[in-house]
Amino acid sequence: MHSESHADAITTQTITPQQVVIGIDIGGTNLRLALADLTGKILTCWSTKTADIFDPADMVQSICIGVNVLLTDPSLAQSKLVALAVGAPGITDAHRGIVIATSYLGGWRDVPLRALLEEALHVPVFVDNDGNMAAFGEYSAGVARTMRDFVFLAVGTGLGAGIMIDGKVHRGVNWLAGEVGYMLVPGTTADPVQNDSPGALEELVGGEGIRQHWRATWKADTTSLNHDASATDIFDAAALGDSLSRSTLDSVARALAYAIYNMALVLNCSHIVLGGSLGLHPGLQAATGAVLQKLNPRVQPTLISSALGGEAQIHGAIHQAIAMARPNPL
């Protein structure tokens, strides 16, 4: 009897598989997966292009391929996937795991991504908007680890915010909190929003809007850049004294500063974490900070750069998956 129970103990003590999670970032151009341990340390990654993935079933299939590739890594043979979280590029019902609307991926509407993935993978899945994921990433593993209240503001092709209030992601009643690309500030249009058209602020501050404005105002004698320069080219040239680039950067910075100021008047958060390819540009940050500083001495949120950059979303997804796997954190 004694030897039997000893044998049992040995059986249950034999190698316990390491628990791992997968964080996923569905972007307009790339699908990226990262497998991490329960401390959030990334062990291995996989990615593919999303350019021709429109059907949600195809997306689920691509994710399954990636999950299988990650889990069959020989170094992870003893790993057990316990949870998975996904950041989606659109309005997302995080409670039910439904992507309500996105202008990417051929324009998904009401896609029950969580249910589809749970059915395919048999692990708990959490789905949220990518801006919220990025905010949670900076909060869990980035520059906002000590902040209970901040806004993560992604400035890239478009514009979006993830809002953290009292240590929780604030999503709003229709999952629209932080859709600041539509904000109205001096200089924006106040025309009604058309179906899937970019937001009024996005037209001034987003990469695509900046390119359009550039092409409309471009004259060979005002700039050394050519007609189809990118927003990053323009911001880079502004630092070197290019005249049209400088005035373009200044008008982008003004609109961005007004929007940040308006957010700060509502939320009175201490910090705005700037992410996205344009949000991280030092020239835009400096010019925006200069406008903001003049507006109102009392209302001065501190602008800081995202520490995780393009990895903020995927780190947020990893940490949401960990939170799900371990509902009572150690």
Tokens of 96: 């039910």
CA-to-CA dists, residue 173 to 64, 94, 178, 201, 253, angstroms: 31, 11, 12, 22, 30
Judge whether 235 and 278 are in contact, CB under 8 Å: yes
**Residue 165 touches a second copy, criterion: CB under 8 A:** yes
Complex with a second copy: residue 36 or 177, whichever CB lies closer: 177
The residue from 28, 211, 261, 309 that contacts a second copy (CB under 8 A) is 261
Q: Which one of the spans 103-111, 113-121, 168-176, 281-289 is the region binding a second copy (CB under 8 A)?
A: 168-176
Cα 246 to Cα 249: distance, rounded to the nearest angstrom: 5
Interacting span for a second copy (CB under 8 A) from 16-24, 107-115, 170-178, 236-244: 170-178
Q: Is 262 near a second copy (CB under 8 A)?
A: yes
Phi, psi (5° rounding) for residue 218? -60, 130
Asked if residues 314 and 25 have their Cβ atoms less than 8 Å apart, the reply is yes
Q: Which of 46, 126, 175, 235 binds a second copy (CB under 8 A)?
A: 175
Taking the complex as a whole, how short is the minimal distance between the CB of residue 44 and a second copy, in angstroms? 36
Query: What is the rounded CA–CA span in Å between residue 107 and residue 123?
Result: 27
Candidate residues 137, 142, 178, 316; the one interacting with a second copy per rule CB under 8 A: 178
**Whole-number Å distance between alpha carbons of 116 and 98:** 10
> Residue 200: enclosing H or E segment and its boundaries?
helix 200-205
Member of 167, 186, 327, 329 binding a second copy (CB under 8 A): 186
Residues 6+ apart with CB under 8 A from 214: 227, 229, 231, 234, 244, 248
To a second copy, the closest distance from the beta carbon of 190 in angstroms equals 5
Would you say 188 or 320 has its CB closer to a second copy?
A: 188
Residues in the chain: 330
Binding segment for a second copy (CB under 8 A), chosen from 31-39, 161-169, 212-220, 281-289, is 161-169
Q: Three-state DSSP class for 283?
A: helix
- Contact between 295 and a second copy per CB under 8 A: yes
Residue 104 interacts with a second copy (CB under 8 A)? Answer: no
Number of residues in contact with a second copy under rule CB under 8 A: 47
- 163, containing H or E segment: strand 159-165
For residue 51, state whether it binds a second copy (rule: CB under 8 A). no
Interaction site with a second copy (CB under 8 A) = 91, 149, 161, 163, 165-166, 168, 170-180, 182-190, 192-193, 254, 258, 261-270, 294-299
